[in-house]
Structure 1
């Protein structure tokens, strides 16, 4: 059997980092991505489409999101679609899942314990739903399948060994250990929640199919999962988003005037498309203004350019300043002589103070 798995589309997300016009364009792009997932299901002639949760944003879904989802999934009829609500699209009294008159090929899992659906003779899909936005217990805690054949799970959850891999800030919603999959009698778990794609021996995270923020890496998209008669799976990833997202670091070492900062940003993004985040880094002379405001204008060919300060440091000649018979010179000498400061604190105090002497303390974040 061939299944198409996706998760974490996050329709109607706010895109807080973007301005109103770009945020609206990004939300429309997410809808286009779901339409391409539908087209991929038809082109690959899969037996069913599965969503591992966070299909939309419960707190902010648009007035026509339900109609849009009904239309897209209805166009797959009679091919079945299985939806396992996550923590952002949790199944509750006011859930969009309850409001839509779904076509009969769409099944929404609604229980906080895995419930079975027979996909074919000897092949069972066990799906579960988040019933609240937080504090959902592990779906596999105390669970075991009650039948033979091949058993798959579909849910939105946090594999515990993956939390450090995923990075800080990802809460352990519906936590589980990879070993619990086999302990429960399951052959494989098809999952949502982690936006970083991951193909493990016993489980699959497709990752969010369309970038939601800068810094996302990995071959994200929708996954065609071929399930063999012995429960083994083969996975092929397909890109379904048209969005390009790039992260670029622009080194400022050697610039001698403010205009060169603009030139280096322009050169760094000249051959890129879509959305680009530029991080400025390096040591610059204290008289150079490297504030990111206004630099976005150098790349009109992009959908968006976001410029931020990284490790940018003002390069003062401290030895020369310490020789001055001035208040500034005395400040440098005093800070350098302070025995109760470590080197990082000493540097921060020196740079902050010297900028204040120059009347330019607001231009660079002290790092």
Structure 2
């Protein structure tokens, strides 16, 4: 049996977390729709037996009637069985489009907040569950047992506990489970949404979000073509179905003496890219450099957006030479260098901050 898995598309996402220019967020939301169309086209071309979504298909609070119509038509056109397991962002409930949309006959929505069976084929059962609230603390696998033969698969939205420290730092887990619970319950494999970083474990699969949602995402995310063998083993092949291109680029400005040179380095770093790029600036620049992030944007007019930010960027002052000056600056440098209360890192930060202030340069460059 061949299944195509995706999750965490987040249709109608606001993209408010990043400082994107006006209009770019609208384009990003349109790209998410195109990505779903690519997933469905892949399902048809690969002639899969079913298309699975592991939750967070859309954003509940931002969902529009137009999106409901789009989803209904898109899944009807898929011409294969579609199984949807709502997550916390697209939770199932009275106001949920899952309940209100008149889905075509090939679409099955799991509606219970516990794992319930759906027969995919003779000897193959898909167990699915739905979130009913923005937060679900209970595991779908606690106390669950398959209790039947054949191949048993699961589809749900949840947090694998071993990865919580890297995937959900600082937040409460959603429907947490331990990977050993999959086999202990009698399941052969679990197809899971929620973590945006892809993972191919022995007994579970996270496809990751198929189209970029934030800067800093890593891993070969996309739709996962899963071949399920008669003994329950699952072979996986990932397909890039993304419409958007989002890049994280580090630019070393060490030795830069003027703002034009900084713009040239940024332009060179993003010259071959398309889409959106976040540029992180690092290195020690000359003390006379006047650098404002907004001045760097024209360096990448070929991109949909350039988002520059200060990283470990500093100023290359010659403190020894400055200490010799018979000036207020010289006295300031001598006093700070002689202060026994300061460690080296703090001393440098105080020196650079103070010298920038004495030069009237407090707004154009972050100090690190």
1:167 Cα shift? 6.2
Residues 1:31 and 2:33 aligned together: yes
Which string of whole-angstrom CA distances, capped at 9 and with x for unpartnered residues, describes residues 106-163 of structure 1? 1111111111101111111110111111143111111111211111010011101112
Matches within 5 A, 1:121-140: 121-140=122-141
Cα separation, 2, equivalents of 1:357 and 1:10: 49
TM-score (norm 1): 0.97
Deviation at 1:342, TM superposition (A): 1.9
Distance 1:324 1:356 in 2: 17
- The answer to whether the aligner puts 1:256 opposite 2:251 as a matched pair is no
- Deviations along 1:178-198, one digit per CA (max 9) or x if unpaired, are 111111111000010011111
Equivalent in the alignment of 2:334: 333
Q: Distance in 2 between matches of 1:116 and 1:129?
A: 13
Q: Using the TM superposition, give the Cα deviation of residue 361 of structure 1 relative to its aligned residue in structure 2, in angstroms.
A: 1.4
Q: Return the alpha-carbon distance in structure 1 between the equivalents of residues 60 and 271 of structure 2.
A: 38
Please say which of residues 208-217 and 165-174 is displaced more in the overlay.
165-174
Please name the residue that 2:235 is paired with. Answer: 234
CA RMSD, 1 decimal: 1.3
2:59 aligned partner? 57
TM-score by length of 2: 0.96
Partner of 1:73: 75
Deviation readout 1:32-66 (Å, 9 max, x if unpaired) = 00001110000000000000000000111123111
Cross-structure match for 2:95: 94
- 1:293 aligns to what SS in structure 2? helix
SS in 1 for 2:330: helix
Residue equivalent to 2:42: 40
Matched residue of 1:175: which SS?
Answer: coil
Contact persistence 2:21–2:305 (CA under 8 A): no
Q: 1-side partners of 2:166 and 2:201: how far apart?
A: 13
Q: Describe the shift of the 1:226–1:110 C-alpha distance in structure 2 as closer, same or farther (beyond 3 A).
A: same
User: How far apart, in 2, do the equivalents of 1:19 and 1:284 lie?
Assistant: 28
Aligned to 2:270: 269
Looking at structure 2, the residues matched to 364 and 284 of structure 1 have their Cα atoms a distance apart, in angstroms, of 10
Over 4 Å off, 4+ runs:
none
| Structure 2 Cα separation of the partners of residues 348 and 142 of structure 1 | 56
Counterpart in 2 of 1:146? 147
Number of paired residues?
A: 366
- 1:328-353 superposed Cα distances (whole Å, 9 cap, x missing partner): 22222222222222222222111111
Preserved CA contact (<8 Å) 1:130 1:136: no
Whether 1:2 aligns to 2:2 is yes
1:93 Cα shift? 2.0
Question: What secondary structure sits across from 1:64 in the alignment?
Answer: helix
Question: Match of 2:319?
Answer: 318
Deviation at 1:170, TM superposition (A): 5.8
Aligned to 1:13: 13
- Is the contact made by 1:55 and 1:85 (CA closer than 8 Å) also made in structure 2? yes
Q: 1:174 & 1:66 partners in 2: Cα distance?
A: 26
CA distance in structure 2 between the aligned counterparts of 1:336 and 1:89, rounded to whole angstroms: 57
Structure 2 equivalent of residue 244 of structure 1: 245
